[in-house]
Amino acid sequence: MSIRMASKRRTVALAAAGASLALILSACADTDDGGGSGDGGGSDAAAPALDCSVYEEFGDLEGKTVSVYTTIVEPEAETQVASYEPFEECTGVTVEYEASREMEAQLPVRVQAGNPPDIAILPQPGLLNTLVSQYDAVLPAPEQVEANVDEFWSEEWKEYGTVDGTFYAAPLGSNVKSYVWYSPSMFEEAGYEVPETWDDMMALTEEIASTNEGATRPWCAGVESGDATGWPGTDWIEDVVLRTAGPEVYDQWYQHEIPFNDPQIVEAWDTAGEILKNPDHVNGGLGGVDSIATAPWTDAGYPILDRSCWMHRAANFYATQWPEGTEVAPDGDVYAFYLPSMSTDERPTLVAGEFIGAFTDRPEVQAFQTYLSSPDWANAKAAATPAGGWVSANNALDPELLATDFDRLSAEILADPATVARFDASDLMPSEVGTGSFWAGITEWFASDASSQEVTDTIEESWPKN
Amino acid sequence: MDWFLSAGDDPVHKLLLMVIAIALFVVVMALILFVVDRRRNPSKWFIAGGFVGPALILLTLGLLLPAGGTIVNSFQNRNGSEFIGLDNYIRAFSEPAFLLVLGNTALWVLVAPLLATFIGLVYAVVVDRSRFEKFAKALVFLPMAISMVGASIIWRFVYEFKPASVEQTGLLNQLVVWLGGEPVQFLLERPGNTFLLMVVLIWIQTGFSMTLLSASIRAIPTDIVEAARLDGLSGFGMFWRITIPSIRPALVVVLTTIAMTTLKVFDIVRTMTAGRYGTSVVANEFYEQSFRQNNAGLGAALAVLLFVIVIPVIIYNVRQMRLAEEVR
Amino acid sequence: MSTTTPAVAPKAVPPPSGLQERARKAKKKLTSPWASMIAVVIALAWTVPTFGLLVTSFRPELDIRQSGWWTVFGDALAGEGVFSLRNYEAALFSRSTSLIDFFVNSFVITLPAVFIPITIALLAAYGFAWIDFKGRDILFVAVFALQIVPIQITLIPLLRAYVDTGINGTFWPIWLSHSMFALPLAIFLLHNFMRDIPKSLVEAARVDGAGHVKIFFQVILPLLVPAIAAFAIFQFLWVWNDLLVALVMGGTDTFPLTVRVAELAGSRGGDWHVLSAGAFISILVPLIVFLALQRYFVRGLLAGSVKG
């Protein structure tokens, strides 16, 4: 929970060692969560030394506390907390870390009750938008933070943290969503190549489909996610819109300059439907088309492991969802390729990320904000995450510090000038659509025989007027 | 002062605070009762104030004022910055699926309490005074001890779907397959899915009804049972003519309580279908608008709708109370 | 519960033992084969899903996803190793704060949150049942109707009040909130039990010159012990399993077990195999409490001397 309990962590790790040798062995082998290291977290990894003088301008911060509220619960929380250590050592500030899976619902409650944290790690810009426009609660980013973002992030990323022309929230971690997971060995045995264009991919899909047997299908997918059911499906559609209609139309689409049911968008749904609504192409190991609606997204790629599914489109963070012991590597059990576009010279990529919102402006809070927006933090976080599954679009991030080949691939895509990155549209649309009718619509699209036109019409109707 | 407020992360301090809180409460209550008791020739109001007052103060602060605020909110926009008249209500009712949501809510509130009460009653009667009574009651009570988080996983393993060609992981579909059928997407099939979600609530609430009803069955005077038996009543006749009428007030109480709970339940719907596939209820829409869409106005209007739906239940109870009062 | 249609026999007098014996036989008759079958079917239907989760919580992650929990019995007979403690290890030891802290918090929250509202509700229920004051019925209906208020609507105003008074993040707002939220149902139920106490008992005490406070403590309370125990168990379960109030009103130092268990699913909700183990860890205490207090559930809700 809070940093104050950091000392307990060591005791717990020891207790765990006593209770289970196996646990500790696996912990040391693939997560190095501090079980073996002397001072917890990942500070034994090669984190570059932090230049403390940067924070001197904020004055003497010794003994001050900053509270952070996030959605990142344990075990991931541990690497997050560890990445704050260099800052704490430099300044003497204590960071109180609180995480909850209910954070997105709780934060507005706390804000309205006058009890916000100092800093919240916002999982998507939509929440920032709500907090600013509805409750006027987030403070504009201090100049040091803005300077960091101007220097180390692209213009687009700064824009996602901006509401009505004021820059509020620096980006933190980033996700690359345009990935297709597959089993390298399955592909090799069958003599399949990783497809380079959309047409190649569809040809491959047809080829695999001709060998369908039992529950095996070329693709598997699942969008069930509790009360957020539908979001993995919206990612699918957004990726296809980026490819069939292009980034410009994509921008017009989420800004509602064109209607949600514009013919180009409907076409994208239909293109996605060639895979997702075709019973010969889905849903490997999971059932028919309608099982996409009910299959938990966290498990939907698992049929690849028992060879009843060939391909599964999911974001880079799906790397951490695979069951324990699954090797994620170009020659391992599973790996991912970039979801191909129409031609090889364009690389539209769907991305997402977290943002740092501040609710108070005490010097220590601003110092911490500055730290989080700096490459120092990104590198400390990379060094503190030995199991991988984390990446940032911060252009000063040292790829060598990233834990896995796969994370380096993601960093490469983010840094590649040919990449045209676009943020997850459902996070940018008004919440009535982005976390409401779009989620509901895509789920309905899988669960029933509603056409792309009908579903997009319904979503368009729900777009808030005014 | 700080010491009395917060215990930090020291467990001993926490336990001490707990004892202090209870002691403080006892002292305050004792003082109130002492004053009530000492006053000579107190008015009825004065005594009543001593007994009922603390509850009324807490209820006013904790529930009544917020409820009043909600009614005001329901006429305001999404962040309460301006009044927009009846717009929220109009919007709620003009949502295309809203009639379905109302219908589902009505279905829930009619079916779930009746079934939970009925099953609890039947079970209480059949295990009454049997050799396994304690054990049997513990089994049905068990679901009450399980948190919502636990319950939602439990039922995932009942309704889960896998295609026919692989092993089933959901119990219900395994039964279907054993019986020679094809696996079914239970949560997608309307209107059956709404009933399957209700099963979860019934499963939880039956322990409550069984406990209370079993206790009131115990309270039926034995001579009444004996007299009825001499009249030749037994089995179902006894159940229908003696047991039910004797515990009627308890039945009303249990039904009412479960109905109130049912109206407010949203987590079952939310975690199992997210309100999709035609399963949403008013409480779920209320939660969605208030906490996911951050539309305080519309959320409040839906909460007010819950107050309105419950009015018939209240009227029924008032009538029952009057009846009972006459008998007493 | 009070009786309506059937004639009421002299209360407080235990029926002759012979009669009781025969009455027992009369009830026994209900225990026909049909009745036994109904009992077994209900008991199974209510237990099997939970049992499934129990088995699941001891299975390796991949197995859970690939086959049903009922297959373990066949596999175990065939000599395969199908059980693992991995989920419990993950639930118990993989997090940075120890589970004990959360148990302490759950306990510290629950005890006052059961004791305080029940005491207040008992007094109020007595007031509504036995003190004849003007407006009593309307007030009672109002209290009872408050059951419908979803506690979600109270969160923001209450939290704002706690923040203003500076007690937020401690145990005090949690105790206070639980006490408020429990009252409507507690008063409603306890009032019903209380009304079943024969008027003659109360009248007799009043003739002896006892005031309301004395009647409450010396006549009413002893009779209500089983009912109070029963309601206390319910209140205990609701508070013990509460996530919402703990999350909103509390802070990192006060979070109970439920908060921790809910987080076992992981940031993205994929680790519910660990959650299944957590659910069973958190069920242990309620189960023990229930079994310990169960004797109150197998008799009437009013202490013996009142009715059959």
Tell me: do A224 and A188 sit in the same domain: yes
Mutating which of A122, A227, A298 best tests the B interface, going by the most B Cβ atoms within 10 A? A227
pLDDT digits (tens, 9 = 90+) for A290-343: 999 999 999 899 999 989 999 999 999 999 889 888 999 999 999 999 999 999
pLDDT of residue C31: 54
Indicate the DSSP class of residue B240: I
| pLDDT score of C80 more than 80 | no
- Nearest Cα neighbor of A229 from A55, A437, A57, A428 is A437
ipTM for this model: 0.90
Written as one letter, the residue type at A4 is R
How many helical (H) and strand (E) elements, i.e. helices and strands, does chain C have?
15, 0
Of residues A438 and B318, more confidently modeled: A438
**In-domain check, residue B293:** yes
Interface touch C20/B64, C-beta < 8 Å? no
Chain B contacts in chain C segment 48-77 (CB below 8 A):
48-50, 52-53, 56, 64-71
Alpha-carbon span A212 to A217, nearest angstrom: 6
Interchain CB contact of A161 with B (< 8 Å)? no
CATH code for the domain defined by C95-298: 1.10.3720.10
Q: What is the tens place of the pLDDT at every residue in C149-163?
A: 998 899 999 999 999
| CB atoms near residue A197 (< 10 Å) | 15
Least confident of A62-66, B216-220, C94-98: C94-98
- Residues from chain A that touch B278, judged by Cβ atoms under 8 A, are none
Same structural domain, A56 and A145 = yes
Instruction: Kindly state whether residues A197 and A314 are assigned to the same domain.
Output: yes
Question: Is C19 a residue whose pLDDT tops 70?
Answer: no
* pLDDT of the residue at A19: 39
The answer to whether residue A183 sits within a structural domain is: yes
Q: Is residue B110 part of a domain?
A: yes
Please determine, for residue A31, whether its predicted confidence score (pLDDT) is greater than 50.
no
- B133 inside 8 A of chain C by CB: yes
Do A407 and A442 reside in the same domain of the chain?
A: no
Cβ distance C42 to B119 less than 8 Å, yes or no, reads yes
- Range in C29-33, C172-176, C226-230 with the lowest mean pLDDT: C29-33
Nearest to A129, CA basis, from A357, A322, A284, A346: A357
* Residue A376, pLDDT score: 92
Q: Determine the residue among A3, A10, A12, A229 to mutate to test chain C binding: the one whose Cβ has the most chain C Cβ atoms within 10 Å.
A: A12
For residues A413 and A19, the model is more confident at A413
Q: Say yes or no for a CB contact (<8 Å) between A101 and C270.
A: no
Interatomic CA distance for residues B258 and B120, integer angstroms: 12
Mean predicted confidence (pLDDT) in A41-68: 77
A46 confidence band (pLDDT: 50, 70, 90): low
The verdict on residue A225 lying in a domain is yes
Tell me what pLDDT residue A362 has.
94
Same domain, yes or no: A58 and A14: no
Position of tokens 């209550």?
B29
CATH classification of the domain holding B197: 1.10.3720.10
Band of pLDDT at residue A27, cut at 50, 70 and 90: very low
C157 to chain B: which residues are within 8 Å by CB? 65-66, 69
Confidence of residue C304 (pLDDT cuts 50, 70, 90): low
A349 occurs within a structural domain: no
Domains in chain C: boundaries = 16-84, 95-298
The predicted model gives A401-425 an average pLDDT of 91
Between CA B107 and CA B194 the distance in angstroms is 9
Same domain, A133 and A4: no
Domain range for A397: 50-176+354-421
Give pLDDT tens digits for A103-158.
998 999 999 999 999 999 999 899 999 999 999 999 999 999 999 999 999 998 99
Mean pLDDT value across residues C116-129? 95
Closest CA to A173 of A385, A365, A362, A342: A385
Task: Give yes or no for residue C211 having a pLDDT over 50.
Answer: yes
Q: How many residues make up chain C in this entry? A: 308
Average pLDDT over residues A151-176: 93
Between A82 and C81, whose confidence is greater?
A82
Residues B260-270: tens digit of each pLDDT: 999 988 889 98
Does the pLDDT value for residue C301 go beyond 60? yes
Long-range contacts of C255-259 (CB under 8 A, 24+ apart): C255/A1, C255/C102, C255/C105, C256/C102, C256/C105, C256/C106, C256/C109, C256/C110, C257/C99, C257/C102, C257/C103, C257/C105, C257/C106, C257/C281, C257/C282, C258/B147, C258/B149, C258/C106, C258/C282, C259/A100, C259/C102
Q: What is the pLDDT of residue C302?
A: 66
**A205 shares a domain with A115:** no
pLDDT of residue C86: 87
User: What's the pLDDT score for residue C298?
Assistant: 60
Band of residue C52 on the pLDDT scale cut at 50, 70, 90: very high
Cβ within 8 Å, pair B270-A435: no
**C-alpha distances in Å from residue C17, one per residue of B218, B232, B233, B327:** 16, 21, 21, 29
Kindly state whether residue A93 falls inside one of the protein's structural domains. yes
Mean pLDDT over all residues of chain B? 89
Q: Is residue B302 in some structural domain? A: yes
Query: What is the residue range of B313's domain?
Result: 87-327
Task: Say yes or no: A312 and A376 in one domain.
Answer: no
Total count of domains within chain B: 1
Domain count for chain A: 3
Is A15 in contact with C98 (Cβ distance < 8 A)? Answer: yes
Evaluate whether residue A124 is within a structural domain. yes
List all residues of chain C from 232 to 291 with a beta carbon under 8 Å from chain B. Answer: 234, 237, 241, 243, 253, 258, 261-262, 272, 275-276, 279-280, 282-283, 286-287, 290-291
Q: Which chains touch A (3 or more CB pairs under 8 A)?
A: B, C
Task: Say whether both A134 and A112 belong to one domain.
Answer: yes
Q: Is the pLDDT of residue C11 over 60?
A: no
Tell me the per-residue pLDDT of C243-268, one tens digit each, with 9 for 90 and over: 889 988 988 889 999 988 888 888 88
A353-390 tens-digit pLDDT: 999 999 999 999 999 999 999 999 999 999 998 888 89
What is the DSSP track for B164-224? TTS---SHHHHHHHHTT-----TTTSTTHHHHHHHHHHHHHHHHHHHHHHHHHHHTS-HHH
